[in-house]
Structure 1
Amino acid sequence: MKFFSTILTVSALAGVTFAGPQRGGFGRPPPPTTESKTDDHPATSSPTPGYSSSSPAYSTGHSSTTTTTTTTTTTTTTTTSKVVTTTTTAPLGTVTCLSTAAATNVVNGFASLLTAYSNATAESLLASDFTDTSDSINFLAGNPLGSTTFPSKLAFELGQGSQPAIGFQVLNIDAITCKVIAFRWEAILGSSSPVKGINILYTENPTQTDDGWQIQSVFSEFNSGTWTIEIGGTCVPPSQAGASR
């Protein structure tokens, strides 16, 4: 029994040896050939998936058509011109209060309007809102007392411009504040006594420069009785009027 087992073992090893590759260069035997079976139905050729049997033949390289689209972009540039108007204003100065020299120039300028009237002087010296108030003149002219004698620059130019020149002398400039001048004067109208009066000038300086001072308003009072006599009128003092009765 042991001998029979040994023979089986040797036979098994021999089978393994014969099945392996041989030293003489012979490879593993080819697989067995299967005999093709004959089908009773005739062979039917099926079209290759993805291609129709009636489709034209394709070459090895695929041909392609390239379409180039050219887009033309037109850019329109609009230029807008802007007109800028610049108004140049002269810079203001720093003069805000009257000096003695400036006050003297203003007073002398006003005196010249009585002695040698000039419309150019009136235009430059008198402010645009100029007024002149005098009950002495109102009495002589027959205007209501307390009313504004010359309510505008134009009214003064028309009224004073039509008057004859008179002798006028500034006696003294008695007071000068930041914008107000007080001075005394006398006028010679004929051969008799001079007429004395007091003027108060209110001024302004729009340009705030040394020569930019203008007269904004005038308050003037004087001896209207003597003025009346000097221009040919009659003025009897109350004391003389009582004695003559």
Structure 2
Amino acid sequence: MRCSLFTVAALASTALALPTVDSALEPRTDPADAKCLTRAEAKEVVDIYVQLIANYTDEVCEKYCADEFVDRSDSINTFIFRPLGEPTFATKKIFMEAQQTNPPFPVVIDSIDAVDCEAIALRWHATFGAAMKPSRGITIIGTTKRLGYAQITSLDVEFNSLIWLLNMGGSYVWEG
């Protein structure tokens, strides 16, 4: 195998850029890190997400959903006859109005799979209604800490909408 000087230099620079185990455990000292979520803050945001879905109150939404909040879900768009790819609830106000009329459902968090500086990825399921079947979903929560605490800026949610339909008392016919 032939290695050029360029290849060796590229590999060496990559190795130098990777953090060591010791540096990954050091406390954050960069002021920019203060804007990033800690694992504990991510858990708190996920708990707020569950409240917004399963036990909604205007007070929680007002405080923890940022003014620029947007919710996107093609799974929900299929139920409310919105075009796929468009925001489901384009503003915080529209989201609040929808949540005030939606019945709560028991969302169970299966795992928090990733926490980034301003995003959380999680998996969940909800078992309810007529069919009592678990509809599994994935949510990406976008956040900001502009006010000194974590607020939700966006929700990107997708789930098994056919199971959801059965749970809501609907039905479908498989034509295969």
Pick the aligned partner of 1:170 from 90, 109, 132. 109
**What is the CA–CA distance in structure 2 between the aligned matches of 1:134 and 1:97, rounded to whole Å?**
25
What letter is aligned with 2:88? T
Deviation (angstroms), 1:189? 1.8
- 1:192 has 2:132 as partner: yes
**Deviations 1:121-156, CA, capped at 9 Å, x for gaps:** 000110000000100000011111111100000000
Which residue number in structure 1 is paired with residue 74 of structure 2? 135
What letter is aligned with 1:200? I
Identity %: 36
SS at 1:194's partner residue?
Answer: strand
**Deviations 1:93-139, CA, capped at 9 Å, x for gaps:** 97211000000000110111111111000001100000001000000
Which residue number in structure 1 is paired with residue 145 of structure 2? 205
Deviation (angstroms), 1:180? 0.8
Q: Which runs of 4+ in 1 moved over 4 A?
A: none
Task: Please identify which structure carries the higher helix content.
Answer: 2
Question: 1:80-119 to 2 correspondence within 5 Å?
Answer: 95-119=34-58
Which residue number in structure 1 is paired with residue 175 of structure 2? 238
SS at 1:233's partner residue?
Answer: coil
What is the TM-score when the length of structure 1 is the normalising length?
Answer: 0.57
**Deviations 1:12-57, CA, capped at 9 Å, x for gaps:** xxxxxxxxxxxxxxxxxxxxxxxxxxxxxxxxxxxxxxxxxxxxxx
Q: Which runs of 5+ in 2 are unaligned?
A: 1-30
Q: Which runs of 5+ in 1 are unaligned?
A: 1-91, 240-245
**What is the CA–CA distance in structure 2 between the aligned matches of 1:125 and 1:237, rounded to whole Å?**
41
What letter is aligned with 2:140? I
**What is the CA–CA distance in structure 2 between the aligned matches of 1:136 and 1:163, rounded to whole Å?**
16
**What is the CA–CA distance in structure 1 between the aligned matches of 2:55 and 2:121, rounded to whole Å?**
22
**What is the CA–CA distance in structure 1 between the aligned matches of 2:174 and 2:41, rounded to whole Å?**
41
Question: 1:1-245 to 2 correspondence within 5 Å?
Answer: 95-190=34-129, 191-207=131-147, 209=148, 212-239=149-176
What letter is aligned with 2:166? I
What letter is aligned with 2:63? S
SS at 2:165's partner residue?
Answer: helix
What is the TM-score when the length of structure 2 is the normalising length?
Answer: 0.78
Deviation (angstroms), 1:158? 0.2
**What is the CA–CA distance in structure 2 between the aligned matches of 1:161 and 1:152, rounded to whole Å?**
14
Indicate the structure whose relative CO is greater, using CA pairs within 8 Å and at least 6 residues apart.
2
SS at 2:35's partner residue?
Answer: coil
What letter is aligned with 1:194? P
**Deviations 1:176-198, CA, capped at 9 Å, x for gaps:** 01111000000122252111100
**What is the CA–CA distance in structure 2 between the aligned matches of 1:238 and 1:189, rounded to whole Å?**
26
Q: What is the root-mean-square deviation of aligned Cα atoms in Å?
A: 1.6
**What is the CA–CA distance in structure 2 between the aligned matches of 1:174 and 1:235, rounded to whole Å?**
32
